[in-house]
């Protein structure tokens, strides 16, 4: 039981570190276009983000694509306006 718990925590720590490193790489791109290109290439050519089963889909959408409060406010503002 102890080994299983240790493995679970190590796996979570590894996943969190991996997400932080990918985010740093994205943040350090010279332009938004390059960052978008990087995300598309990584998303299409690797197992990142993980889409293997329903649990991972839910976990990824809940934790990986989360907007910051500032981004969420901006998103709500844009979605509530009729710009046409």
SS (H, E, C) 13-72: HHHHHHHHHHHHHHHCCCCHHHHHHHHHHHHHHCCCCCCCCHHHHHHHHHHCCCCCHHHH
Task: Average the pLDDT over 42-71 and give the result.
Answer: 72
pTM as predicted: 0.46
Would the pLDDT of 70 be above 70? Answer: yes
Q: Which tens digits make up the pLDDT trace of 4-46?
A: 889 889 888 888 898 899 899 999 999 988 888 888 877 765 6
Domain locations in the chain as residue ranges: 2-80
């Amino acid at each position: 039981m102890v080994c299983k718990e240790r493995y679970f925590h190590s796996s979570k720590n590894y996943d969190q570190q991996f997400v932080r490193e990918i985010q740093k790489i994205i943040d350090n791109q010279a332009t938004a276009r390059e960052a978008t290109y990087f995300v598309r290439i990584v998303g299409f050519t690797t197992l990142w983000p993980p889409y293997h089963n329903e649990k991972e889909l839910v976990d990824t959408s809940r934790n990986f694509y989360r907007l910051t409060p500032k981004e969420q406010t901006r998103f709500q503002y844009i979605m509530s306006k009729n710009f046409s």
